[in-house]
Copies of this chain bind each other. A is one copy, B any other.
Amino acid sequence: MREVAIIGVGLMKWGELWKKSFRDIFVEASLNSIDDAGVDHIDSMYVGCMTGGLFVGQEHIGSIMADYLGQRHIPAARVESACASGGLAVKMAYLEVASGMSNIVLAGGVEKMTDVDGGGATAALATAADQDYEVYNGVTFPGLYAMIARAHMDKYKTKREHLADVAVKNHANGLNNPYAQFQMKITRDDVLNSVMVADPLRILDCSPITDGAAAMILCDLETAKKLTKKPLVQIIGVGHATDSIALHSRKDLTTLNSTVKAAQSAYKMADVKPADIDVAEVHDCFSIAEIVVSEDLGFFEKGEGGCAVSDGRTQIGGEIPINPSGGLKSKGHPVGATGVAQVIEIVKQLRGEADKRQVDKAKIGLTQNMGGSGGSSIIHILKGEL
């Protein structure tokens, strides 16, 4: 398989975008990525989207986005793995370039979530859980992650304050991200006093409902060297694993096995170990998720993730900065776009383009994108040349 580089990345301001359509936001991010790459065409594209059918009544998403991007007739595919759909789009584009089938491929993600009301959004997101056994009985995602939080607190003495500190750190980072939905500073007390959603998770433990898109251009390393004058960023590791999407089918709620297994594959392929990672973007859909994932990726011993956050070990300047972009918590979580935006943040970090969020001397970065309550995880490891 060929070596693959990312030569262009594109975002747009995320939020409640009632004046822009589903196709508008995808095209905006995609044109930004094409502009950043400086390419005059793309050979093929992948679009990560969780549920265009339920959010905006639109499927056939690959074709419609290719057409509105001015790329009518190219092969275009929509891929879905719930909230890991964006990561899946990056993986598929990687595979297409690595295989030699295509040279220049766009990987994008999009979700327009605010065209339905809050109940509609919760119901649409619940399709990432087991409809017959979980959702039918009334549980939605805050409840599922609350169970994970309770189990982790019980087994490892993780404290309510640890959870709050994830949100405080990520909002502090997001303050410096102009694309973030919620650029605002919050305190531990703000989190602890915010509205209860599913005990112990409060509203400030939860990532928001967001309209947004993200896109990037991948190509083979040789073409990349000819096309770009920017610092080259390569994908050196890819990991993808699944798990039961129903929580009740797992032996241990405090470990996300899809993340553990995807990480093993990605580290092996990249020939690196957790200590080699300089910066990571992980799937903090709820504050507890970042803690569990930071352990399952091997950054900390099992049970130490909560203390690690509160001790500042995951902040910019700490031993392993996590979510310098602001994470899903501050940046927003348009579910199909999130996995692509995570990779974009790492590209910016490895290019030295992250401004006030820049992690010093970042050479190797990792992204972990997760579907549902861990029913799927997709991990990418990137290497810069700076």
| Interface residue ranges, A against B (CB under 8 Å) | 1, 21, 23, 50-54, 56-64, 66-67, 72-82, 88, 92, 95-96, 98-101, 124, 126-132, 135, 240-245, 249, 257-258, 261, 371-372, 375-376
Contacts and interface: CB of A to CB of B under 8 A. Distances in A.
Contacts of A54: 53-54
A357 to B, nearest CB: 31
B79 A77 contact: yes
B58 A80 contact: no
A127 B245 contact: no
A375 B64 contact: yes
Given A67-B243, A99-B100, 10 more contacts: A58-B132, A60-B128, A63-B258, A63-B375, A64-B130, A73-B241, A73-B243, A76-B376, A79-B79, A99-B99
Contacts of A241: 73-75
A63 B245 contact: yes
A376 B135 CA distance: 33
B67 A249 contact: yes
Contacts of A78: 79-81
A101 B78 CA distance: 20
A257 to B, nearest CB: 7
B127 A67 contact: no
Complex A-B, nearest 6 residue pairs according to Cβ-Cβ distance, in ascending order: A99-B99, A60-B82, A75-B240, A63-B375, A59-B127, A63-B242
13 contacts: A21-B132, A57-B126, A59-B128, A60-B376, A63-B258, A64-B130, A74-B241, A77-B88, A78-B80, A78-B81, A79-B80, A98-B101, A99-B99
A57 B131 contact: yes
A243 B63 contact: yes
A63 to B, nearest CB: 4
